[in-house]
Amino acid sequence: MSAEAQNLILHELYPSLDERWRPEDVARKVLLILEVSTSEKATLNKAAKAGENSRWFNPSRYLIDLHSNRIF
C-alpha cells in the first residue's frame, strides 16, 4: 500500500475517535495500514469479523434491489 493510501486511511480513522465507529470497522482499517505481529493480526481479524455474527440488524450490511426484492 502506498504512503498516500495509508495517509488517506489515517485521515478517515481520526474522526472515528469522536464519531464512535464500530470496533470491527476500525479493525478493518487498521489491518490495511499497519504491519502487525501474527497474534495481533489474529486479534484484529477476530474484531473485524465480529460484526458479521451480530444478532442485531444492521441495514448497512444489506443491499436490496427494490425491483426484484433480492438481497445482495
DSSP string covering 25-51: HHHHHHHHH----HHHHHHHHHHHHHG
SS3 21: coil
Boundaries of every domain in the chain: 3-55
Output the average pLDDT for the chain. Answer: 78
What percent of the chain is helix, strand and coil (3-state, nearest 5)?
60, 5, 30
pTM for the model: 0.60
How confident is the model over 9-33, as a mean pLDDT? 87
Share of the chain above pLDDT 90, in %: 14
Residue 46 has pLDDT above 70, yes or no: yes
Where is pLDDT greater, at 42 or 58?
A: 42
Reported confidence tier of residue 38, pLDDT bands at 50, 70, 90: very high
Smallest CA-to-CA distance from 32 within 17, 12, 53 is with 12
Dist. CA 60–CA 44, nearest whole Å: 21
